[in-house]
């Protein structure tokens, strides 16, 4: 079992493509007023969809290359570090309407996302809301969200046994973590971890096993990369509203933004024996190696 887990840890190291520079230094969000409970709000909800379009870093449809295999993981939790509305495709990151910016800290040395204070949401839950009176009136075509933390389940094969593992993946530009829980096991860190840090847990015969590692990054779809590139390391996923979101400042009811995130074959690996199963080791070869585990698109709508 130690050999299996060791090879699994190695297999989770080879990923694609966010670098680790800091993202745009926007100040954390602080409410400017104490709104009435009845005041209309802009409400955000995230949904995980394995049937949504699978995109690459530039927002183009992406297929699974020959020699690779992939699966759609079951997402449990997500944390986001920012929400930004942009009126057009030429609006630079950080220069749109910043609806939310999460807390940061220097407790671990350099500036990092403060995981202890991060908002962690689940499928269909209200992730964040803000009074519409605090949103600049205008028409917004694009939504950006800097994702920070993902927790999901994957299936893998080990010695002929089909097993389930849970993965916690930190994709913020830098992350200060005291501790976190993967599935049932808590992991203590008390330090900064750069983008790509992960923890993996699986249970075999009633015993839980945990491994940790560091990978280079993850796919970050941005359909307007030519006119408005994302900052390196920020993991700002971008998507357009089919019908632009218009805020007049005279709203009398909530506006809800539903954010669909594509999990369509988002966990991808080099399939050594071409059997379609993720096998960190089958006992006869070095095992399959992961090449990507990023979300594959952001698709916002509003009502």
* Structure confidence at residue 94 as a pLDDT band (50, 70, 90): very high
Nearest to 131 by CA among 265, 249, 301: 249
Residue 27 placed within a domain: no
* Structure confidence at residue 16 as a pLDDT band (50, 70, 90): very low
Window from 46-60, 163-177, 282-296 with minimum mean pLDDT = 282-296
236-254 pLDDT, tens digit per residue, is: 999 999 999 999 999 999 9
Residue 14 placed within a domain: yes
Q: What's the whole-number mean pLDDT along residues 255-276?
A: 94
* Structure confidence at residue 145 as a pLDDT band (50, 70, 90): very high
Q: Which long-range contacts (CB under 8 A, 24 or more apart) does 123-128 make?
A: 123/46, 123/47, 123/48, 123/75, 124/45, 124/46, 124/47, 125/45, 125/46, 126/43, 126/44, 126/45, 127/44, 127/45, 127/46, 127/80, 128/43, 128/44, 128/80, 128/83, 128/99, 128/100
**Structural domains in the chain (count):** 1
49-88 pLDDT, tens digit per residue, is: 999 999 999 999 999 999 999 999 999 999 999 999 999 9
* Structure confidence at residue 206 as a pLDDT band (50, 70, 90): confident
Tokens 């994702």, residue?
A: 147
Above pLDDT 70, what percent of the chain? 85
Residue 127 placed within a domain: yes
Residue 194 placed within a domain: yes
CA 240 to chain centre: 17
Residue 48 placed within a domain: yes
Residue 33 placed within a domain: no
Q: In angstroms, rounded to a whole number, what is the distance separating the alpha carbons of residues 303 and 76?
A: 25
Domain that holds residue 126: 2-19+43-302
Residue 24 placed within a domain: no
Q: What's the whole-number mean pLDDT along residues 160-165?
A: 91
Residue 26 placed within a domain: no
Please list, residue by residue across 15-30, b when 16 or more beta carbons sit within 10 angstroms of its beta carbon and e when fewer do.
bbebeeeebbebeebe
Q: In angstroms, rounded to a whole number, what is the distance separating the alpha carbons of residues 298 and 143?
A: 8
């Amino acid at each position: 079992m130690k050999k299996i887990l060791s090879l699994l840890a190695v297999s989770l190291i080879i990923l694609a493509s966010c670098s680790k520079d800091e993202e745009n230094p926007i100040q954390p969000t602080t409410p400017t007023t104490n709104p009435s409970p009845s005041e209309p709000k802009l409400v955000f909800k995230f949904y995980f969809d394995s049937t949504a379009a699978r995109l690459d870093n530039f927002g183009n449809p992406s297929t699974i290359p020959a020699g690779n295999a992939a699966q759609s993981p079951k997402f449990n939790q997500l944390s986001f570090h920012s929400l930004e509305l942009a009126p057009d495709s030429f609006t630079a990151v950080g220069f749109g309407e910043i609806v939310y910016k999460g807390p940061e800290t220097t407790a671990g040395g350099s500036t990092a996302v403060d995981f202890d204070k991060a908002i962690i949401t689940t499928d269909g839950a209200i992730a964040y809301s803000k009074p519409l009176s605090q949103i600049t009136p205008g028409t917004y075509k694009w939504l950006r969200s800097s994702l920070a933390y993902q927790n999901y389940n994957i299936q893998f094969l080990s010695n002929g046994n089909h097993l389930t593992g849970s993965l916690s993946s930190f994709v913020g530009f830098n992350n200060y973590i005291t501790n976190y829980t993967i599935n049932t096991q808590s992991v203590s860190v008390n330090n900064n971890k750069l983008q790509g840090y992960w923890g993996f847990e699986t249970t075999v015969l009633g015993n839980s096993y945990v491994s940790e590692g560091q990978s280079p990054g993850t796919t970050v779809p941005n359909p307007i990369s030519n006119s408005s590139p994302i900052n390196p390391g920020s993991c700002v996923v971008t998507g357009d509203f089919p019908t632009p979101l218009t805020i007049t400042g005279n709203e009398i009811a909530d506006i809800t933004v539903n954010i669909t995130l594509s999990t369509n074959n988002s966990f991808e690996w080099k399939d050594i024996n071409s059997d379609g199963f993720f096998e960190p080791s089958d006992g006869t070869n070095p095992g399959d190696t992961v090449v990507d585990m990023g979300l594959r698109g952001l698709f916002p709508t509003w009502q």
